[in-house]
Structure 1
Amino acid sequence: MSALGALDPARGVRAAGLFRPLSAEDEEQQPAEIESLCMACYRNGVTRLLLTRIPFFREIIVSSFTCNSCAWSNSEIQSAGRIQDQGVCYTLAVRKKQDMNREVVKTDCATARVPELDFEIPAFSQKGALTTIEGLIDRAIAGLKQDQPIRRETDTDVAGKIDQFISKLKRLKGVDSAFTFILDDPSGNSFVENPHAPQRDEALVVTHYRRTAQQAAMLGLEIEESKEDSADPADDLRNEVLQFSTNCPECNAPAATNMKLVQIPHFKEVIIMATNCDVCGHRTNEVKSGGAVEPLGTKITLHVTDPSDMTRDILKSETCRVEIPELEFELGMGALGGKFTTLEGLLKDIQGLVAKNPFTLGDSSTPDRAEQLHAFGRKLQQIVDGELRVHLVLDDPAGNSYLQNVYAPEDDPEMRVEHYERLFEQNEELGLNDMKTEGYEADCSSSR
């Protein structure tokens, strides 16, 4: 109970060192044991709780129950961190049996689907788990088999149909034919392994999206509607730093976020937000565009030829993809959030993101995969040191990203800026297809 008491939001902060990174070499990281009631035989068993931190998923609680009387056991994971700003959907094309071994973090509120079989594991029907795709299918098979003996006595037709469906699920494990695995989590805390990291996985598509009102209500979130007071004109905020209260994304302690409006030369206004936690020392900064979505998307290609290129200012919006073709590397939308930094700072952030990949640490890592990541990190460092010439591509369908032109107002011979028409899918991802910004006066007059 003492460990769980540290999670009480009323206390404001967690005990220092309560959540430790998961490591087989950490001898001090021992699970807490609590005597609990077994729901199978109603005798006492033991629940073990391990509070740990996994990169990308922040803090989780791993729990395991075992009953010595009836040998019943159960295990699950629960997120101890905050719900992410956006939901996430993973779409994996399973083509070979090795794909069944991909590790999966599935939270309680995530939905898993296989469209080819019209098969779905609804949200909150299973406890959270750290497993593999094969493990999720095994859990579904075990759940369907649970009441089969009773069904065979009461309804043989239904029992026969379930047996046929179980056979189809077993064939999925052998990957006799390709199928699609979809993991949709409105909380944004689920994950599907990319074994080719840091390179792009052609079989895996990761999509970040805004939660609907129904999904927010399912997660217990309240959506506040912003109210604009048109009577009072807006004050000039360019010379003022606004501050509002929030919680630290790492330790959940009360913290303050500073926000300021900044004009970028030869570009537009952006909003810079910075949070500094006095409890755990965590610092974060984020940049959001202060203007509207541009009519055309923007693709910026820079040929990095000199170490001085590392000092170029760069604005990466939340909707921007970053590519380094020579390294076969791609950073998708939503990763790292919005940032206003230098080119060197962006590469350093990418290095930190790759180094914290949860499936290359601890028991989940393999020597080959770890060596690939170390080699990729060395190549990034060579770019920073000016020893490796590459092309850096910023592809932003919203047109809100920027890379400094050191020759301004003249053209930069090493940088190419292209504007393009967005595809329907890109407009859909930005929420523009259903957005209406014209014809309001006509609608109002007709309604009268």
Structure 2
Amino acid sequence: MSVISEEDVRGENLFKDINAEDDDWQPTEIESMCMNCHLNGVTRLLLTKIPFFKEVIVSSFNCTHCNWSNTEIQSAGRIQDEGVCYTLKVKTKLDLNREVVKADSATTRIPELDFEIPPFTQKGALSTIEGLLDRAVEGLEQEQPARLEADPEVAEKIGVFIRKLRKLKEVEKEFTLVIEDPSGNSFVENPAAPQKDEALVVSHFKRTVQQDAQLGLRADDDLGEEEGEEEPTGNDLDTMRGEVLAFNTNCPECNAPASTNMKLVQIPHFKEVIIMATNCDACGHRTNEVKSGGATEDLGTKITLHVTDVSDMTRDLLKSETCNVAIPELEFELGMGAVCGKFTTLEGLLNDVKDLIVSKNPFICGDSGVSKRVEKLRAFGVQIDRIIAGEMDAHVVLDDPAGNSYVQNVYAPDPDPEITIEKYTRTFEQNEDLGLNDMKTDGYQEEKATTSTSLKD
């Protein structure tokens, strides 16, 4: 049995990296009551770090009296800045083997059956698509004996639905699985990585006030306060332009108290942006993020840079949080939100892409890594290194529907022969992702003034 030391209580060694060679890497055992036979069993807790999924608590219960067992996984890390929604078209039985990390705050839906598992009704799990279906069937079957006695008609309808769920595992027809998680801590495997998965759509979204309250990020009393918030005035913006503002936050890696600095910066030949930088004294983690300081442009922007020389790696680059990144030569595409907004160099962006796909991918780490997949992703990392070293010509495409991304023109003010910039009209789906379809701007000030007057009266 593992014993939690005073050093662990202070949080220094509470969460350990997964390491098969670490002899001290043992679970903590706690005697606890079995919910099946009400005698005592043993719960094992393992506090560890998984790349992408941050700190997690893996718990396993086993009862020697009735042989009942149960396992679950809970996120112990920070809630992400945005929620995430995975929409998977399940077309073959191979799709049922995709690994899934489902947080307890996630909603699971199968639109074809009008089936939904609400958030916080199941514990978090590390499973597969088939495992999620089996878990749903087990949950519905659990009360069937009682339903047969109390209401046979309802029990029969649920029995028919259970058979429909089981039939999904045969994949005779294509069906859709949607996992929407406001905490941003759920994941669905892309077996084609680093290439784009044609069957999987990943989108990120801003949480609603109600979702923030569900996650404990704000009190219920704060739900009505947003209507009274004031917009920044011109004087506030002038103050931000003239100084670096600092505010307290938590480190995204170790969750220790840290400080984030924020400043408005004018990018030459482009626009104003807000740069935020966080430095943690506890673990040494450093990160920066960029937000657009201006409005969403009327047209989307697609910037294509032809990388022909190692000197291109020093070009300044702004990738907004709404920007997609593609490298056609590698058949690679990275959706918006996968990498946060950054003001960096081309080399910095390519290194971030490599770390995201190769170093921090939870599905190729430790025992979860399949040899062919690991080999494929490591080969992708080698190709990225060749582009950075100038040994391979490539095109880097920044496709930003909001028009807030930028690549430095080293020939400015003359045109850059290696950069192609295209302006395009956004599709309905792109406007939906940006939240523009439901945004009302015409007559807003007049309506706001009328509302304020009526409230005062």
**TM value normalised by structure 2:** 0.92
The 1:289/1:446 distance shift into structure 2, 3 A limit, reads closer
Match of 1:432 among 418, 436, 439: 436
Q: In structure 2, do the counterparts of structure 1 residues 77 and 233 end up closer, same or farther at CA, with 3 Å as the change threshold?
A: closer
- How far does residue 58 in structure 1 lie from its aligned partner after superposition? 0.6
Letter in 2 for 1:227: E
* Corresponding residue of 1:403: 407
Pick the aligned partner of 1:193 from 186, 189, 196: 189
Of stretches 209-218 and 269-278 in structure 1, the one that deviates more from structure 2 is 209-218
Identity of aligned residues (%): 67
CA drift at 1:298: 0.7
Q: Quick one: structure 1 residues 230 and 193, their matched pair in 2 at CA, closer, same or farther if it must change by over 3 Å?
A: closer
**Distance 1:382-1:229 versus aligned 2 partners, 3 A rule:** closer
Distance 1:238 1:36, change over 3 A: same
2:70 aligned counterpart, secondary structure: strand
Contact 2:319 2:341 (8 Å CA) reproduced? yes
Whether 1:63 aligns to 2:59 is: yes
Give runs of aligned pairs for residues 52-201 of structure 1, distance below 5 A: 52-201=48-197
Say if 1:198 and 1:329, in contact at 8 Å, map to a contact too: yes
CA contact (8 A) 1:24 1:363 kept: no
- Corresponding residue for 2:259? 256
CA contact (8 A) 2:8 2:14 kept: no
In the other structure, the counterpart of 1:244 is 247
Where does residue 367 of structure 1 map in the other structure?
A: 371
Q: 1:38 aligns with which of 34, 40, 46?
A: 34
Aligned AA (1:192) = V
What is the rounded CA distance, in whole Å, between the counterparts of 1:444 and 1:191 in structure 2?
Answer: 40
- The answer (yes or no) to whether the contact 2:3–2:28 under 8 Å persists in 1 is no
Residue 357 (structure 1) shift: 0.6
The corresponding residue for 1:330 is 333
User: Partners in 2 of 1:344 and 1:297 — Cα distance?
Assistant: 24
Q: Cα offset for 1:15?
A: 2.1
1:229-267 CA deviation, whole Å, 9 max, x = no partner? 759665443342221111111111111111122111111
Instruction: State the distance in 2 between where 1:7 and 1:334 align.
Output: 34
Judged with a 3 Å threshold, the aligned counterparts in structure 2 of structure 1 residues 444 and 326 are, in CA distance, closer, same or farther, namely closer
Task: Give the counterpart of 1:339 among 342, 349, 359.
Answer: 342
CA contact (8 A) 2:7 2:13 kept: no
TM-fit CA distance, 1:212? 1.5
Partner Cα distance (2:6, 2:199) in 1: 43
Q: Measure, in 2, the Cα distance between the counterparts of 1:405 and 1:35.
A: 65
Query: Do the aligned partners of residues 86 and 445 (structure 1) sit closer, same or farther apart at CA in structure 2, a change above 3 Å counting?
Result: closer
Off by >6 Å, runs of 4+ in structure 1 = 4-8, 444-448
Please state how far the C-alpha of 1:99 moved relative to its aligned partner. Answer: 0.5
**Alpha-carbon separation, structure 2, partners of 1:235 and 1:304:** 38
In the alignment, structure 1 segments of 5+ residues that lack a partner are 9-13
What secondary structure is seen at the aligned counterpart in 1 of 2:25? coil
Separation (CA, whole Å) in 2 of partners of 1:201 and 1:233: 44
* Distance apart, 1:16 and its partner CA: 2.0
Question: How much is the aligned-residue C-alpha RMSD, in angstroms?
Answer: 2.1
Distance 2:293 2:163 in 1: 55
Q: For the residues of structure 2 that align with 1:441 and 1:413, how far apart are their CA atoms?
A: 44
| 1:273-311 deviation digits (Å, cap 9, x = unpaired) | 111111111111111111111111111001111111111
User: 2:198 maps to what in 1?
Assistant: 202
Per-residue deviation, residues 391-439 of structure 1 (Å, max 9, x unmatched): 1100011111000001111111111011111112111111112222232
Give the equivalent residue in structure 1 for 2:318.
Answer: 315
Distance 1:328 1:295 in 2: 29
Distance 1:235 1:260 in 2: 11
For residue 442 of structure 1, report the CA deviation from its aligned partner. 4.6
Query: In structure 2, what is the Cα distance between the partners aligned to 1:192 and 1:4?
Result: 36
Amino acid at match of 1:55: P
Cα 1:231/1:211, change in 2 over 3 Å: closer
Q: For each residue in 1:9-62, what CA deviation from the matched residue of structure 2 results, as whole angstroms up to 9, or x when unmatched?
A: xxxxx5223212234343321111111122222221111000111111111100
| CA 30–330 in structure 1, closer or farther in 2 if over 3 Å, else same | same
Matched, 1:305 2:308: yes
Deviations 1:51-81 (A, max 9, x none): 1111111111000111111211111111101
How big is the shift at 1:145? 1.6
> Within the alignment, does 1:376 sit opposite 2:371 as a pair?
no
Structure 1 SS opposite 2:363 = helix
* Number of equivalences: 443
Residue 212 (str. 1) matches residue 208 (str. 2)? yes
Work out which of the residue numbers 262, 266, 270 in structure 1 matches 2:269: 266
> For residues 311-333 of structure 1, what are the alpha-carbon distances to aligned partners after superposition, in whole Å with 9 as ceiling and x for unaligned?
11000000000000110101110
- Provide the rounded CA distance (Å) in 2 between the counterparts of 1:118 and 1:445: 43
Matched, 1:296 2:299: yes
How much has 1:444 moved relative to structure 2?
6.4
Change (3 A) 1:94 1:86: same
Question: Could you say what secondary structure the match of 1:64 adopts?
Answer: strand
Structure 1 residues 48 and 406: CA distance shift in structure 2, 3 A: same
Deviations 1:133-177 (A, max 9, x none): 111111111122222223333332222222221211111111111
Equivalent residue number for residue 290 of structure 2: 287
Deviates more, 1:148-157 or 1:363-372: 148-157
TM-score by length of 1: 0.94
